[in-house]
Amino acid sequence: MQSEETNQDKPEKQPRLIRMKKLQFIILLFAVVIISAGVPTFVFMFGNEKAVGNDGERSEFQKLYAAFDSLKDSYFKEVDQDKLINGAINGMVDALEDPYSDYMSVDEAESFHQSISSSFQGIGAEIQEQEGFIVIVSPLKGSPAEEAGLKPNDKVLAVDGKSLQGMSSTEAVLLIRGEKGTKVELSIQRPGVEEEMTVPIIRDTIPIETVYGEMLEDGIAKVQITSFSEHTSEELVKVLNDMQGKGMKGLILDLRQNPGGLLNQAVDISSMFVPKGEIIFQIEDRNGKREEFKSKGSNNPNIPLVVVIDKGSASASEILAGAVKESANISLVGEKSFGKGTVQRAQDFSDGSNMKFTTEKWLTPNANWIHEKGIVPDYEVALPEYASLPFINPDLELKLSSSSNQVKTAQQMLKAIGYDPGREDGFFDEKTKQIVEKFQAAEKLDVNGVLTGKSTLVLMERLREKLDKDDTQIKKAAEILKQEMGS
């Protein structure tokens, strides 16, 4: 069981130092495994289709054959046989009641495979089905979804007015994705917010890059991994080498909002930070048989490391977090992770359709199953309250005498960035209008006291900039690193 104990002070353990060598990393060969929390997902394919013939020898299929023959022969109009067969397979997978198992039609499977390259056109958000709802796991860094303010656990109720109730995640993806430059409107229900939000998003090409690095103060580098795609380990080596060239003395590895991806990439990257021979994770099948996957390790310079996670850190990012926490004594900072502890495999059928299904549990090095529990960080640190403010629709006009939750959100945003309207109850009074005009003047916008269009977008951008500057989780990670660097 995953321990729920958390130490708010510095844990009583010696910091494990990471070791890395310039331009060298290990490519591990693995079975074709999906280890992502939602869709789009990143996979290797494996296995061959195993056909079952209608030969009457397997008694458990007689009921299925009888139903098929009856519909084919006696339904009041001609049936589409392929559609019936696809529906039967889909029904079997749905009966598993597993949000991570799914049957995909030819079109859905094609969309699914496009994700392998981590380059596609859409909004850039990882989603999954939960209890009949489509839920955001995490928006990808630099994506339209992130720019629009989508957050983990947002429910997507409808796409362009079409309800997603009861749809699978792959069905929802087909509606959400689209060509670059086209607009899609998502109806969003955010936890803790009564009012449903309409979020317009312009689709774009989702960034291929998955690793971003920057130097902070005092020789501390922050490197963010946004997903585990085909070339993530190569990108990470390149970025780390660049940070070393800039004088890196300590490293913050940021796994927040990382929904997962390729299992082999999680293992490659874990091997950069976990000592050789130590367990990275374990796989357990339905018979309880376990297989351990161990670090290949490396012999390189010592650099203190802290890892940051949040509720958007899922699957492969949780494998990495669990590995460094339990096998390398590396501190975790932030919020409890998403909690996705199962492994899926994918099987292609001869017609181009596809079925992915859960085959094993994965366990941390200490045999903790974090499914639906998440990984609790050593230092639990919340972001400022304003970080969870909902999106404001820039198509709306928030002006004098209007009253709504969107006005309330705008008032809270204005206060957070230093423009206090004096109230946060959602009523747009004369003082709020004056504060909006002051903000517009400072930003060289049209000064009319109305929040709409560009004024709304700039307000949300300034809030994001403030959060980047006042990131409490990164600040805590830097504080821990400074202590370790000074020891």
Q: Which residues are catalytic?
A: 315, 326, 340
Classify residue 384 by its DSSP letter. P
Q: Which residues pair with 162 in a beta bridge?
A: 159
Cβ 446 vs Cβ 383: under 8 Å: no
- Residue appearing with tokens 């990495």: 320
- CA 227/CA 261 separation, integer angstroms: 6
Q: Phi then psi for 332, rounded to 5 degrees? A: -110, 140
* 149 conformational bin, left if phi > 0, alpha if psi -120 to 50, beta if neither: left
Tell me if 253 sits within 8 A of 306, measured CB to CB: yes
Contact indicator for 236, 269 with CB cutoff of 8 Å:
yes
The letter for the amino acid at 230 is E
Characterize 316-325 residue by residue with b for buried, 16 or more Cβ atoms within 10 angstroms of its Cβ, and e for exposed. Answer: bbbbbbbbbb
Q: Residue 455 carries which side chain, given as an amino acid letter?
A: S
Q: Check if the beta carbon of residue 464 is closer than 8 Å to that of residue 416.
A: no
C-alpha to C-alpha distance for 239 and 226, rounded to whole angstroms: 13
Token readout for 418 is: 């230093």
**Are 101 and 357 contacting, i.e. CB atoms less than 8 angstroms apart?**
yes
